[in-house]
Amino acid sequence: MRSKRSSSSKELLVDTSFLLPALGIDVEKEIYEAIEKFKKYKIYYLEISLIEAMWSIIKRVDIRYRRIVETGLESIRDTYYKMNITPDHMLKAWEIYLSAHKDFIDSLLYSVSIIENIPLLTIDKKLKSNLEKNGYDTRNIVFPKELK
């Protein structure tokens, strides 16, 4: 995936919360406000975030609305850029899971962000707090209010 990345454009790796509206799931106002600013950025996501989003959909959405979800999945894939997960990403996430933050998907998002030097957009203040308490650099973590 690195060959598609351009150092001249502003880039963000987004956590799952920012994919949910495209799939028909209502989220916090700050997420919608951040999404409005996405046109200024090259947006990346992880495939595992779509899997995490589907767990939320399975629990909250009637299957009769599958067309909305299907359209959302296609839209995400057509609009955003998929970042591939490497063994280095997974091993770093494992380390972080054991030492700092007990959510493997969050740990994986952070690991990809750090290794690929791309800001991670999240609303998860606990992730940042846990990382800081355990000596991890959190300068790559961005909250919606920080987007320009």
> How do residues 98-139 score in pLDDT, each as one tens digit?
999 999 999 999 999 999 999 999 999 999 999 999 999 999
- State pTM to two decimals: 0.91
Helices 104-116, 47-60: crossing angle, 10 deg rounding: 150
Percent of the chain residues topping a pLDDT of 90: 93
Q: Do 131 and 96 contact (CB within 8 A), yes or no?
A: yes
The position carrying tokens 């939320």 is 56
Fold of 9-84+118-146: Rossmann fold (3.40.50)
pLDDT greater than 90 at residue 148: no
pLDDT greater than 50 at residue 52: yes
pLDDT interval class at 7 (50, 70, 90): very low
Q: How confident is the model over 63-86, as pLDDT tens digits? A: 999 999 999 999 999 999 999 999
d(CA 132, CA 36) in angstroms, rounded, equals: 29
Q: Do 83 and 45 contact (CB within 8 A), yes or no?
A: yes
pLDDT greater than 90 at residue 28: yes
61's enclosing H/E stretch is none
Q: Do 118 and 12 contact (CB within 8 A), yes or no?
A: yes
